[in-house]
Amino acid sequence: MKGQYRIINEILLFGITAGVVFAVAGVISFSTESMRVQTQKEQYSLMGDLAALSLTKAYICGKMADCVVTSEIPDRLSEDRYTLTLYKGKITVTNFETGESMDIGTLDFQTNVGGFITSNGRYFLMTNQNDTILLTR
């Protein structure tokens, strides 16, 4: 009988330890997923701000001569690919896989603006030529 208590205690200890490990793993998984959604929104907002700043810089630079502003971008935001669209005074950052998007407003420069890029390039260009600003790769 004495040997059975030892085996039962080890089985209980293993079961309790496994339960604690699975509970901690579940809490960590839940918290990282909710943080990922919030981080993705922040990253999309920052990417839109980068494009808006590049647009402003290209506009100011283009007042003197034809100008190109080059900006480096990541290929993924929160492990997802994305697109940037510049149209009618706003920049739209869209998740390529889910279609969710975020609009970032820009200043009204009284010029023609437009363009579309995907995240698989390392850079994007804001080109100001002949009173037209284009977002290209």
Q: Is the dihedral of CA 109, 115, 118, 119 positive or negative?
A: negative
DSSP 28-73: HHHHHHHHHHHHHHHHHHHHHHHHHHHHHHHHHHHTTS-EEEEEE-
Supply the pLDDT for residue 1.
58
Supply the pLDDT for residue 2.
67
Supply the pLDDT for residue 77.
82
Helix (H) or strand (E) holding 104: strand 101-105
Mean pLDDT of each 10-residue bin along the chain, 137 residues long? 77 90 88 81 88 88 84 84 87 86 84 86 85 84
Q: Residue 26 carries which DSSP code?
A: H
pTM, full prediction:
0.74
